[in-house]
Structure 1
């Protein structure tokens, strides 16, 4: 049996909207998943650049983790196949040979290869081992043994790369090297921090102090550790969290009908021109309001015709049909909440998905098999997806009840007026 406090915590977690961090690490479900967030930001060129930077930075951090993991695996491999005596090295003797395996083993024991200790790993990636006297003496001994000058930068990185190259030749398995990490960090700087005519992903509104410091650390100091991007990461996250994410939530969590967003950002020119043929897909709000006005016009025309032809009040009640359809369309269009969609737990995806789309599109597309067939007949199934977030489903259901109340009220008022007024034959 669960603890009451644990049950309360789980209940609180279920009764809330997701956070930006949960969306970015891809633990949320439609319609607040990371792909919908990316699609939403694609209509804002400068905002999507910050999300692209975040994605590339996370990929760089994964490369750093793979680099450290490769070093750890190499240490373990060397320990497994080692046939020589692994007695304790006398580090006080300057003439003693210092092997790379001994140095890497010391790095492992000192926690420099433990990614749970982010500070230690960052120091290792920077080549800074000054706070460990044992590792520092081993590095100095390896430098003297290898003939590396004291003034040369990154002696530890040189040793690790040399060991990884040997490991690659032995196992014929490619390993990530420091050079690749440096090149990847330089590429991030070139794309997002330097203006270029070829690439339009330059981050605007980044403080010059932050930008210049990152450029100096990467270009001049040849740093590639995740800590070097930490100030820029904070700026990007705050921008996404404060300026972008609330608007995204208000769009997808409080509304279930949306105008179609263009896919200009990540599709070929031929596919960019493709849009759904349904007006309810391309211009959802406008089309519903216009069709609602048309139905109201039909209702007024029928009502006035029956009044001036002096039909009985019982016959004039037929105006309830066009008034109901008109009120439904206008209210749903203005509130951007479709009552039927909410009843079936559906919402519109922000972008139309082709059945024969590219592999990338199919990878991120949603499952449309659970959509009721009736919506296919109404021309709106192509963009409908199931709401998999219970709290958002509940929010939309409450808003749909309010829309249903307004629709019923407007329909009743108009029907009563045109049914109860005295008839007069012209």
Structure 2
């Protein structure tokens, strides 16, 4: 599932007030909840997981499960709204009991992605309700093979995918229970089954337990993914997120650009040394040797950029590299402050080393061989 388009549209999320005054680096949960700004936002993290960590499937799984929860919320919210306005279809005793459960639920209009106690309790109520109301036309009612169910899930979600659903806007059409079922199956067939298209590695029997719950117990509630979602979150927090912060909060260049700068810096420095020694042994004037400032400055600047993974001039201008030759403006206040401080250090080191080399090769006495 390609999230890059949808995430790019959300590259400037609406953040709570604390995001603008946060005097620290963000946490992974804040990034995933879109509480941060570039270059430490969700879109930048997605690009990092795809291009550098090479494990974007884990992030896609986490986002799919989060969207599945959002889909379930919309479904239950629609049911609750229909109950509150008085739906004439609720005639049976089971339907009346279901309506009482829906009426007992609190306000479902708030965001689900903020990890507060009220939100967790509300999501647990939604999961309990969906477990008590098995999906119509379930697995036990239809002898479909695993391959047929996989194709059906992909077909059903191709036109009404939950990826476009967020907590801030309603879906373009009403969410049906079969959409929830298809969403759960698609997550299973895409990430969890052995040999799946984008299979992720989970600890123990997590994948097998989810497979059994979906295919044998006919479940599609979001709680069945909780263990896998927590495991993936902890894996990203432990293995990927520290590197992401180092790359985006303390630097503004990507690996291909760093390699190019290393090559350019070494070539420029080699040219500067070669020219400098030639001018010394040809006994040229110090005025002519002043031209050595140019290759020395280029070489030292590019090597310092490689060493610190930071282009200080670009950082001071407020830009960070997202992919080679694609830039984003630095909007996270604390990260901008960090990059400005590091940029000044890099410029000071560059100026000091450059000045030392230039003085050495310009003012050393010449001697014609």
Q: Normalized against structure 2, the TM-score is what?
A: 0.74
Matches of 1:182 and 1:10, distance apart in 2:
37
Which residue is equivalent to 2:356? 413
Matches of 1:11 and 1:34, distance apart in 2:
14
The RMSD of aligned alpha carbons is: 3.0
Alignment partner of 1:126 is 2:123: no
Bigger radius of gyration among the two: 1
- Judge conservation of contact 2:193–2:207 (CA < 8 Å) in 1: no
- Judge conservation of contact 1:72–1:113 (CA < 8 Å) in 2: no
Which residue is equivalent to 1:207? 203
Q: Which residues of structure 1 form unaligned runs of 5+?
A: 1-8, 87-96, 129-151, 153-172, 260-282, 353-381
Residues 130-188 of structure 1 show CA distances to partners (whole Å, capped at 9, x for unaligned) of xxxxxxxxxxxxxxxxxxxxxx9xxxxxxxxxxxxxxxxxxxx9643434323322222
- Judge conservation of contact 1:114–1:121 (CA < 8 Å) in 2: no
Q: Which residues of structure 2 form unaligned runs of 5+?
A: 1-16, 110-118, 134-140, 142-171
Matches of 2:276 and 2:204, distance apart in 1:
67
Matches of 2:268 and 2:305, distance apart in 1:
14
Matches of 2:34 and 2:354, distance apart in 1:
43
Matches of 1:56 and 1:216, distance apart in 2:
19
Which residue is equivalent to 2:187? 188
Which residue is equivalent to 1:38? 46
Q: Give the superposition deviation at 1:348.
A: 1.0
Q: Give the superposition deviation at 1:228.
A: 1.2
User: Of 55, 69, 81, which residue of structure 2 is paired with 1:61?
Assistant: 69
Matches of 2:263 and 2:53, distance apart in 1:
30
3-state DSSP class of the match of 1:43? helix
Residues 261-299 of structure 1 show CA distances to partners (whole Å, capped at 9, x for unaligned) of xxxxxxxxxxxxxxxxxxxxxx32222222222322332
Residues 323-349 of structure 1 show CA distances to partners (whole Å, capped at 9, x for unaligned) of 122211211122221121122111111
Alignment partner of 1:108 is 2:102: yes
3-state DSSP class of the match of 2:55? helix
- Structure 1 residues 120 and 298, CA gap change in structure 2 (3 angstroms): closer
Matches of 2:96 and 2:350, distance apart in 1:
77
Which residue is equivalent to 1:298? 271
Q: Normalized against structure 1, the TM-score is what?
A: 0.64
- Judge conservation of contact 2:80–2:103 (CA < 8 Å) in 1: no
Matches of 1:125 and 1:51, distance apart in 2:
25
- Judge conservation of contact 2:84–2:103 (CA < 8 Å) in 1: no
- Structure 1 residues 112 and 179, CA gap change in structure 2 (3 angstroms): farther
